[in-house]
Amino acid sequence: MPRPAPTPFPPAAPEAVADWRWQHVHAAQSLADVERLFPGRFDLGALDRPGIAAAIALYGMRATPYYLSLARSASPADPVWALAVPAPQETTVLPEEREDPIGDEAPELRPLPALTRRYRDRVLLYPTPTCSVHCRHCFRKRMVGNADYAFSDAQLGQAVDWIARQPEIHEVILTGGDPLTLSDDKLLNLLAALDEIEHVWSLRLHTRMPVVNPYRITPELVSGLQQLSRPVLVVTHVNHSQELAEPLVAAVARLRGGGIDVLNQSVLLAGLNDTPLVQRELIWGLLRAGVRPYALHHADLVPGTSHLRTTVAQGQALLAALRGTVPGHALPRYLLDVPGGHGKVPLEPPWALPAEGGGLRIQAPDGSTHLYGATGSPAP
């Protein structure tokens, strides 16, 4: 059975704690907030508080009380704590790390500020830079919580109009930030506008809210999504079975009850989910919750995240160990988002082949070739 969510937080009425807006507003933005929300729950004595404060000053922190309640200890070895609370290592930036590691903002891919078009038939739409939790490995650290990426209603309207003029586009992917931090009215009005475009056949929502703020998946939201004529696909982001608590399972059940499929993409993270045992627990936990695993991403070259990246060889060995030990339909594809905006490729032949001198020669979907270093860095 899924693990129940621990409940020793904070002094508020149960109906408030179970309201997604309360969770969002009361998100911790410092260790002092963690202490206030969870008095006596976590032993913070061994932490490098100045180092953590320096990382917060660089990249910020935000974590809902619900998500922090899933942490079992204030330790970088705890998969929830490590993804919710900044680490001092984030202040160390390697030369190969990039502010925009997957090329979201490459000028040739940005027809408008609120859009990225990496493939002919799909487009990314950024309705908000806001998230309920600032994940430490996030490849959009520069964007999350940054008002410079808060596009106006007029700009979003221009994006919808542009999509309507591109008959090759058949799927619109709302990402961010987290589109489910929008109000029902704003989100559903935007989706309704996209739903009216004849050549848009599918709508996809990329969100971590079922994991970090599952109370967002309200019956009212599900009912609104059901009114759309296009299929709606929700892709969530669970990295460890510790995140599969009962509120997430209930949120997924509401979505599936409304006829909405739920997929999962996760990121391979060093020391957190990089063993066959942990990945099997995650895969089976997702299946029991009604979520279909579909992608395991190699960690991107995000500034200050080298402590969370494995090598590609480690990831390939992990997938080899999983094959034959979990159902084939639940085995995720191990993917690399090629730096520079060239799209995603499976880290297997013929897309990824050994290169002379080490590393990999990557064949991108756009036909270009790229060297990727043996340690997970672009080769020189």
Percent helix, percent strand, percent coil in the chain, to nearest 5:
35, 20, 45
3-state secondary structure (DSSP) of residue 194: helix
324: tokens are 């034959």
Active-site residue identified among 62, 138, 178, 274: 138
Peptide bond into 177 cis (omega under 30): yes
H/E segment holding residue 333: strand 333-337
Active-site residue identified among 100, 178, 274, 300: 300
Indicate if 119 belongs to the active site. yes
Active-site residue identified among 122, 186, 254, 280: 122
Indicate if 131 belongs to the active site. yes
Active-site residue identified among 62, 67, 126, 131: 131
Q: Among 362, 241, 373, which Cα is nearest to 310's?
A: 373
Indicate if 118 belongs to the active site. yes
Per DSSP bridges, beta strands 360-363 and 352-354 are antiparallel
Active-site residue identified among 41, 117, 118, 204: 118
Indicate if 254 belongs to the active site. no
Q: Are 366 and 354 in contact (CB under 8 A)?
A: no
Active-site residue identified among 19, 33, 110, 119: 119
355: tokens are 């290169």
Q: Are 336 and 359 in contact (CB under 8 A)?
A: no
Indicate if 141 belongs to the active site. no
Indicate if 19 belongs to the active site. no
Which residue shows structure tokens 């990246």? 309
Active-site residue identified among 41, 140, 141, 204: 140
DSSP, res 63: B
345: tokens are 């490729």
Rounded distance, CA 91 to CA 54, Å? 7
Alpha-carbon distance values, 94 to 91, 98, 230, 241, 257 (Å): 10, 9, 43, 30, 46
Indicate if 153 belongs to the active site. no
Q: Tell me the residue type at 173.
A: I
Catalytic residues: 118-119, 122, 131, 135, 138, 140, 300, 337, 344
